Chains A and B, each alone.
Chain A
């Protein structure tokens, strides 16, 4: 029950923070802004997606390809019975 509450809390919190505009407010902070600007200068395609500079449908979309994977439980939790 405690685990479920934690999960539900986290899942509900993030969208709520985003919709309340808190992430945008953090973005407006001066040091964060400077940091993002520095990222943009190293990003030829610009920060708002790719725009005209980019012709690649793979790197710039509209949809980038997903890696399928090989299944998560196929290995590893050896101290437990899978």
Chain B
């Protein structure tokens, strides 16, 4: 059980992916990026994750959102993130309609969309507190 709106969710995600053969050996092999998940009010926090050839090597809550150094920053309202993690909001629709906003190279994101969708799918399996 991970507490929604905390780094626990992303640590849990890291544990799941780092023990997932399908991810490590197939789907995630090209994923070597740093990503920040930014939550609006009331959570109002941002979480940094680093992927190296699929393996999650770093997870932490950012102390400040100024000058975020990451390949991708995905930001959304608390409600949108909750919807994505509980599968009531389709992340691709949320991205299209601006409920989730992306900063970073669109071309890279799109080329790896299936891998990123797999990560979201795994995250939605995390029991939330």
A and B: interacting chains: no
